[in-house]
């Protein structure tokens, strides 16, 4: 990478992103893989479309024998696409994203079974395949978070994505990866076709550097040069130094936690396996970081200290309870809003409390209302909501679960079906899923509250697993949450 003005530091503890559009040649992934192997790194190549034989031929053009490296336990290719296809044939449906990670982890463990010294390099090629297969942006991000945890602080990971500008999910994922990456490489092909002297351009950026290079693909190498110069002249430095990546739009997080509660006394202070609902919620929202490295520093910190979440510019607790205020102050970055008495009454709605908060804190344009009575909030779901809200066309995002229940209603004392014909009772697998609010979180533009709304006409949804959608409203809910927490056995990322 030195011919592009980048030293070998990109191979240490980083997340890097390679993007191409339809006319771009995704040569950079294999080239980086070969350079990593020549730098005595171990390589795990994750492919969602091509097989080992394809990469063996490509690597040969860079004078790298992938077959010998695989036999020597220095490189392996995890054929993720083939894994998903086989699981679909066996099970009749696509595997959950967690199973894909388990298979990836096995390939990684096999590669490093005898040698833990070499810094690992993981290259994930053709990531867009997961979106084509129907996985959500949140599931793809969850997979990447898990993959990055394998090489945290010891190696690096490259993710390759080819996307179409008309695909909203691909654009959302592309925007997220650009913000998270240490280095961004965007490859553009020639719009006017092929040229003998030019194959396309590479835009390279980091938080400190910005540069554009033209390149020409040759038989066994890639030549790079500055725009407007001859192909023989190699660029000596980046064109300019500038800040390239902008942060996500500022989102303020608000948690409503009043002291009074009808069904459960001091509900927001009730504990699940030793941690109160309010503190449990705060530990989650303050770890919404918006980038993999910060997420994992929060996860793996030996001190266990929590830092202000980069996903939210501020985290507020609105309460009328001194006990809840004291509990919340265990996390230093949390701010306290002492709620007015009229907004703390049993009859006061969440919208009333939100409007009361906004009256005291002007200038907030986007608010995330997060409910601490949803004890199984996941960081990845909140991340997905942040990503959706980064689109200017979206005015609100809220959490839902899917449901395929046969619904009835009564009218004038007569029972009537709502969503099916009793004469043709559908099988659950044939029913179209409905979406039910979980109450876990609501992200919205604050101008909606002027219309007494938390959801606007351009709302998006984040689908959460049903088993994690429980809302604490009764003693039974609390006991069920205790059991779930003891048996889930997963980290809520």
Q: How far apart are CA 168 and CA 166, in angstroms?
A: 6
- The two tokens of residue 19 are 């993007």
Letter string b/e over residues 384-421, b meaning 16 or more CB atoms within 10 A of that residue's CB:
bbbbbbbbeebbbbbbbbeeeeeeeeeeeeeeeeeeee
**Region for residue 78 given its phi and psi (left: phi exceeds 0; alpha: psi -120 to 50; beta: otherwise):** beta
Contact 147, 101 (CB under 8 A): yes
Comparing CA positions, the residue from 256, 262, 440 lying closest to residue 339 is: 256
Asked whether the beta carbons of 252 and 358 are under 8 A apart, the reply is no
**Both tokens of residue 94?**
């696509």
Measured between alpha carbons, how far is 352 from 452 in angstroms, rounded to an integer? 9
Which run of H or E residues covers position 42?
strand 42-47
E strand or H helix at 462: strand 459-463
In the residue annotation, 220 being an active-site residue is answered as: no
Q: Are 35 and 3 in contact (CB under 8 A)?
A: no
**Largest distance between two CA atoms of the chain:** 86
Q: Which residue in the list 329, 339, 425, 451 is annotated as catalytic?
A: 425
CA dist., res. 158 & res. 121, Å (int): 8
Q: What sign for the dihedral angle of Cα 476, 482, 487, 492? A: positive
Strands 408-411 and 414-417: antiparallel
Q: Which residues are catalytic?
A: 425
């Amino acid at each position: 990478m030195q011919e592009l003005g980048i030293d070998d530091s990109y191979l240490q503890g980083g997340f890097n992103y390679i993007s191409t559009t339809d006319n771009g040649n995704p040569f950079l992934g294999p080239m980086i893989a070969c350079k990593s192997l020549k730098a005595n790194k171990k390589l795990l190549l994750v492919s969602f479309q091509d097989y080992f034989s394809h990469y063996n031929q490509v690597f040969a053009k860079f004078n790298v024998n992938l077959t010998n490296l695989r036999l020597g336990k220095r490189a392996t290719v995890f054929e993720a696409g083939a894994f998903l296809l086989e699981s679909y044939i066996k099970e009749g449906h696509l595997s959950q994203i967690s199973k894909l990670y388990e298979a990836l982890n096995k390939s990684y463990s096999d590669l490093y079974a005898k040698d833990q010294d070499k810094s690992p390099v993981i290259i994930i090629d053709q990531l867009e395949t997961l979106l084509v297969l129907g996985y959500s942006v949140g599931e793809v991000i969850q997979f990447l978070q898990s993959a990055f945890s394998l090489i945290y602080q010891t190696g690096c990971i490259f993710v390759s994505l080819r996307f179409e500008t008309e695909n909203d999910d691909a654009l959302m994922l592309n925007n997220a990866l650009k913000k998270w990456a240490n280095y961004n490489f965007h490859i553009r092909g020639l719009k006017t076709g092929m040229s003998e002297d030019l194959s396309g351009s590479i835009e390279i950026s980091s938080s400190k550097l910005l540069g554009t290079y033209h390149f020409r693909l040759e038989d066994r190498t890639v030549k790079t040069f500055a725009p407007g110069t001859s192909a023989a002249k190699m660029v000596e430095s980046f064109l300019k130094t500038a800040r390239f990546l902008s942060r996500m739009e500022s989102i303020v997080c608000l948690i409503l936690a009043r002291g009074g509660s009808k069904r459960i006394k001091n509900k927001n202070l009730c504990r699940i396996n030793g941690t109160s609902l309010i503190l449990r919620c705060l530990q989650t929202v303050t770890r919404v970081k918006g980038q993999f490295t910060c997420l994992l520093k929060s996860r793996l910190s030996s001190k266990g200290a929590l830092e202000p979440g980069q996903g939210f510019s501020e985290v507020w607790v609105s309460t009328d309870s001194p006990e809840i205020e004291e509990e919340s102050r265990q996390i230093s970055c949390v701010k306290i809003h002492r709620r007015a008495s009229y907004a703390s009454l049993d009859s006061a709605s969440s919208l009333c409390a939100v409007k009361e908060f906004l009256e005291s804190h002007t200038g907030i344009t986007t608010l995330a209302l997060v409910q601490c009575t949803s004890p199984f909030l996941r960081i990845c779901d909140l991340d997905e909501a942040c990503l959706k809200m980064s689109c200017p066309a979206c005015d609100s995002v809220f959490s839902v679960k899917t449901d395929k229940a046969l619904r009835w209603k009564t009218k004038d004392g007569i029972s009537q079906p709502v969503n099916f014909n009793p004469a043709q009772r559908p099988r659950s697998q044939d029913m179209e899923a409905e979406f039910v609010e979980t109450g876990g979180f609501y992200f919205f533009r604050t101008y909606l509250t002027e219309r007494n709304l938390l959801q606007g006409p351009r709302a998006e949804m984040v689908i959460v697993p049903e088993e994690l959608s429980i809302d604490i409203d009764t003693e039974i809910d609390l006991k069920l949450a205790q059991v779930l927490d003891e048996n889930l056995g997963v980290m809520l990322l």
